[in-house]
Amino acid sequence: MPLGQVHQVLQAAFGWEDAHLHRFVTSDPFAPLRPVDSAMPEAHQWLPGTKCEEPGDRPEEDCSLDQLLALGSGAAFYEYDFGDSWLHRLDLVSRRPADKDCPPALLIDGARRGPLEDSGGFPGYEDIMEALADPSHPDHGDHASWVAGITGSEEPFDPAYLHIPP
């Protein structure tokens, strides 16, 4: 699967709107770098071709998920929204032959719904969830209105709910 398609699959799985930059890397971008032979290794990242600006940037259009996984140690990372820094580890769990009658990706299981777009990363999302859970919280009303605008629903937001289509 081309990296651009992996990006679209992850956007759909998390309910995001592709409103921010993203990148793929072969190692955890937040892990400390260790020098190799007294030099810092060049970190490569795969971005949409139009966003490649640095020497280590590679166009995602030229790479597939299996190629990216082979470059790392069996895992790769996807980061979305560099301000919120939603970081996802991608691991190969199993392989199956492509079937033209089946979609290229299918959500089969999960624990919770994805965090809301533009919610401020882990700290911001936790603050929003805390305020929503407590009607007496001073920010409850503001956050409830913001969530309704993002989700398009006045229904109470349940972070544990995950809709898996049949």
Q: Is the pLDDT at 33 greater than 70, yes or no?
A: no
d(CA 3, CA 81): 16
Task: Please count the residues of the chain.
Answer: 166
CATH topology of domain 3-91: 3.10.290
| 45: helix, strand or coil | strand
Ramachandran quadrant class, 74 (left: phi over 0; alpha: psi -120 to 50; beta: rest): left
Answer with the residue of higher pLDDT: 39 or 75.
Answer: 75
47 phi, psi to nearest 5 deg: -125, 165
127 phi, psi to nearest 5 deg: -60, -45
Q: What average pLDDT does the chain have?
A: 90
Total-model pTM: 0.87
At residue 131, the pLDDT reads 97
Per domain, the residue ranges of the chain are 3-91, 112-166
Span 57-61, average pLDDT: 96
Q: Is the pLDDT at 62 greater than 90, yes or no?
A: yes
pLDDT in tens, 80-132: 999 999 999 998 887 778 788 888 888 888 889 999 999 999 999 999 999 99
Neighbours of 70 (CB within 10 A): 13
